[in-house]
Amino acid sequence: MRNEEGFLSLFLFSSPSEMSDLNQKINGWIDEYVGDGPIFLVDLQVTQGARRTLISILVDTEVGVTIEECALLSRKLGHHMEENEWIEEAYNLEVSSPGLDYPLTHGWQFKKNIGRQVKVWLQGEDPVMGVLVGYTDVAVEVLTEKMVKHKKVVAKESSWIPLSAVDKIKIQVTFQ
């Protein structure tokens, strides 16, 4: 946008509330666009970079999201943002799936990944590795292996871990 002297000036958000407002508008549009599924919003971040705003959206479904679904959402949202002048400056809009390195945060993600190897980071304790075998709104059930001298499995033990004691839970890739 050009100022009174005719120089090009970079528009930046003047306050955190403007970024929060954009975040709320995008969140509302996504909720309306996806409705009751099958696509779920996993994470939405709006951050101000040195030259442009970065809008990062993570979406998923119970069976995985395709590149085509991400691209369609990106095109529709980008068009809607520009049509309604939600943002005036240059921006990057990224829509993708969370990937395996992103922590599980929603109940449907836990249910989707039952039977998979997970690592559970506990607050103030060592992480726990095991198979995710159950989930409730307040706890996860993890089947761990008890080993002798880090070699031989002697027993498998199921433990319910309260989500209030969990820092994060991530899927672990195994090659078997």
Q: Where are the domains of the chain?
A: 16-96, 107-171
* pLDDT (0 to 100) of residue 156: 86
Report the C-alpha gap between 118 and 142 in whole angstroms: 8
Separation of first and last alpha carbons in the chain: 56
Segment 63-82, tens digit of pLDDT: 889 999 999 999 999 999 99
CATH of 107-171, one of 2.70.70.10, 2.60.40.1760, 2.40.320.10, 2.30.30.100: 2.30.30.100
Domains 16-96 and 107-171 share a fold: no
Q: Note the pTM of the prediction, 2 decimals.
A: 0.74
Return the amino acid letter for 52. R
Segment 94-131, tens digit of pLDDT: 999 998 889 998 898 999 899 999 999 999 999 999 99
Q: How would residue 169 be classed by pLDDT, with cut points 50, 70 and 90?
A: very high
Helix-helix angle 67-83:16-34, to 10 degrees? 130
Contact at 8 Å (CB) between 44 and 60? no
CA angle 131, 66, 23 (to 5 degrees): 90
DSSP-assigned beta bridge partners for residue 144: 157
* pLDDT (0 to 100) of residue 150: 67
Report the C-alpha gap between 10 and 3 in whole angstroms: 10
Give SS3 for 127.
Answer: coil
**How buried is 53 (Cβ within 10 angstroms: 0-12 exposed, 13-18 middle, 19+ buried)?**
buried
Q: Residue 81 contacts by C-beta under 8 Å, 6 or more apart in sequence?
A: 26, 87, 93
Contact at 8 Å (CB) between 74 and 93? yes
Strand (E) positions, the chain? 40-48, 53-60, 91-96, 117-122, 128-135, 139-148, 152-162, 166-171
Q: Look up the CATH number of domain 16-96.
A: 3.30.300.70
